[in-house]
Structure 1
Amino acid sequence: MARVVGVHGIGKQLLGEDSLLKEWRPALTDGLRRAGSAGAVAEADVAMAFYGDLFRPAGEFLAVGDPPYSAADVEEGFEQELLLAWWRAAAESDPQVVPPDADTLAATPRSVQAALRALSGSRFFAGVALRGMVFDLKQVHRYLTERDLRARARERVLEAIGEETRVVVAHSLGSVVAYEALCARPGHQVRALVSFGSPLGIPNLILHRLEPAPLGMGGDVRGVWPGTDELVWTNVADDGDVVALVKDLRPAFGDRLRSVRVHNGSHAHDATAYLTDALFGKAIAGGLA
């Protein structure tokens, strides 16, 4: 089993373990080199826990890629609320995004269309088709509401983690999957969890829906620690990362969590941009020491 296990984020349903590792392995090595720990991990020591195919529509003749979603497919409730939260976050970090005003914050079809239109012109979602944004919304929603899919995704992570695994590196929605998987295996030997671009701290939409459920009530909740006291959890976030709406996870999971800010430029949510940072490499090296 690998010493380092990566867990990918949303929107990777058309890729696979090997294609993702082609991007992650060299970026991870660069981050370790920046941290002064070049050679800390060999190529064979890194594996990818892949669950993206669980979201891929079954193949059929005359159908290619994601379903042709439109604004009308964004469901009321969770999906509309998360979309509007992304819009607010994008407007705060990107001056080119027109901020939502009080009238458009109501979850109406018109506000959904306005949000998708505003996000399509942002740096964060540059190059992402409208149907891709809607598909990403639905991936998060489906993971949190479809019990069988949720269990299968967590099992993919647990299958990749062995007795020799010391570091779990989890991106975006993958940080939610990895967190729940580690909580589901008491006694695991992972010594470092490095989450990045993580939505784990978003109240109501994500934090309050975690399994196991956080302790406390209302706005005063505390997530369960995903391991023993020996586990070091580092959360890395870029100020412009729209998915990581809550940058500092310490209020949600405790002060022993290490909170790190990085600067990924126009690639705020890109996994490889995170992985190449020296502080990210330091967090991985610490778990391997």
Structure 2
Amino acid sequence: MARVVCIHGIGQQYAGERQLHTAWHPALADGLLRAGTVSALDADEVRCVFYGDLFRPPGRTLAVQDPPLDASDVDEGFETELLLSIWAEAARTDEAVLPPDARTLARTPQTVQRALNALSRSRFFAGVALRGLVLDLKQVRAYLCDPAVQTAVQERVAAAVTDRTRVVVGHSLGSVVAYEALCAHPEWPVRGLLTLGSPLGIRNLVYDRLRKPGAWPGGVGTWTNIADEGDVVALVKDLRPLFGDRVDCHLVHNGSRAHDATRYLNTPQVGRAVTDGCGLD
């Protein structure tokens, strides 16, 4: 039974729990090494919760792919607001991205297209097809705004946590999932929450939609939040103003793949947090 439960973020609809485990466990093991931890976590002590299939669109056996989405598929309201927030942050951290101007105050289809065009030049979104970016926006909205999706995801987390689980790791949207799961289950024996590349600090779009915004996550003793300066998903790097000074916040450098989960996991900051939470030496 797993001592560490990991929860993935957006864009994993074509992956699976075993595939994620193959990448995440070695990266976490390297993080422990970087932290100077002598004890190791065996593969069966780390479990990846998978919920990406909830967002996988139906398709024919020989042609499973992202649906042909474009700017017109970005819905008004939540999806447009999140897209524009990401655009502004990408422009702040990447000189290749043209910044939005006053005209973006009018939420028009042209504004959405300009945002997508600008983000296509970003190092952060290198190799990400436009339809994939639009689908990612829809996944965030689905979890935060659709109670059925939220319930289904939370049930999978609850099924993975046992009386032996000591640390929960959430990456990207998975950090929101992890936070809400721990808030809902203060009886769990989890000692540490670790959030990586988290959007929890986005006030209007994420934080205000939490079921318990600002609450301490259940019975955990420590909460470590780690962000890369260039990670546009983690729009707010310091979560302490919203969640309290007990949150231990760190900045790391992940290179050109600022939001990559494995680059977060192999840092000494992650290694130390897991070491402390699991009582390793």
1:90 maps to which residue? 90
The reply to whether residue 54 of structure 1 matches residue 54 of structure 2 is yes
Alpha carbons 1:40, 1:285 under 8 Å: kept: no
- Whether 1:225 and 2:219 are equivalent positions in the alignment is no
Q: 1:12 aligns to what SS in structure 2?
A: coil
Q: How many Å apart are 1:140 and its aligned residue?
A: 0.3
Structure 1 position 59, deviation (Å): 3.4
What is the one-letter code of the residue matched to 1:226? Answer: P
Q: Secondary structure at the match of 1:6?
A: strand
Instruction: Tell me the equivalent position of 2:245.
Output: 255
Unaligned runs of 5+ in 2: none
The SS at the match of 1:169 is strand
CA offset at residue 64 of structure 1? 1.9
Aligned position for 2:273: 283
What TM-score, normalized by structure 2, do the two folds share? 0.97
Give me the TM-score of the superposition, normalised by structure 1: 0.94
1:190 partner letter: V
What pairs up with 1:54-73 in 2 under 5 angstroms?
54-60=54-60, 63-73=63-73
Q: CA deviation at 1:105?
A: 3.8
Q: Distance in 2 between matches of 1:81 and 1:103?
A: 14
Partner Cα separation in structure 1 for residue 262 and residue 87 of structure 2: 24
Q: In 2, are the aligned partners of 1:4 and 1:47 still within 8 Å (CA)?
A: yes
- Please tell me the residue identity of whatever aligns with 2:174: G
* Structure-2 separation of matches of 1:106 and 1:29: 48
Counterpart position of 1:20: 20
Taking the aligned partners of 2:191 and 2:115, their CA distance within structure 1 comes to 40
Judge conservation of contact 2:184–2:218 (CA < 8 Å) in 1. Answer: no
Give the whole-Å Cα distance in 1 for the aligned partners of 2:61 and 2:222: 48
Would you say the 8 A contact 1:154–1:181 is kept in 2? Answer: yes
Shifted more, 98-107 versus 153-162: the winner is 98-107
- SS of match in other structure, 2:144: helix
For the residue of structure 1 that corresponds to 2:251, the secondary structure is: strand
Q: Which letter does structure 2 place at the counterpart of 1:254? A: G
Conserved? CA contact 1:191–1:232, under 8 Å: yes
The alignment status of 1:237 with 2:227, answered yes or no, reads yes
Deviation at 1:280, TM superposition (A): 1.4
* Distance in 2 (alpha carbons) for counterparts of 1:267 and 1:183: 30
Give 1:63 shift: 4.3
Q: Distance in 2 between matches of 1:231 and 1:65?
A: 42
User: Which aligned segments of 4 or more residues in structure 1 are displaced greater than 2 angstroms?
Assistant: 58-63
User: Is the counterpart of residue 174 in structure 1 residue 174 in structure 2?
Assistant: yes
- Structure 2 counterpart of 1:266: 256
Q: CA deviation at 1:62?
A: 6.4
Q: Distance in 2 between matches of 1:116 and 1:75?
A: 14
Query: Deviation of residue 44 (structure 1)?
Result: 1.1
d(CA) in 1 for partners of 2:62, 2:262: 34
Residue 220 of structure 1 is matched in structure 2 by none
3-state SS of paired residue (1:244): coil
* Distance apart, 1:57 and its partner CA: 1.3
Q: Which amino acid aligns with 1:269?
A: H
Offset from partner CA, 1:48-79 (integer Å, 9 cap, x none): 01111111112335642121100000000110
Residue 202 (structure 2) aligns with? 202
1:89 deviates by 0.4
Cα distance in 1 between the residues matched to 2:106 and 2:86: 14
| Whole-Å separation in 2 of the counterparts to 1:69 and 1:62 | 19
Aligned-pair CA distance for 1:38: 4.1
Supply the distance in 2 between the matched residues of 1:133 and 1:142 (Cα, whole angstroms). 14
- Consecutive unaligned residues in structure 1, runs of 5 or more: 215-222
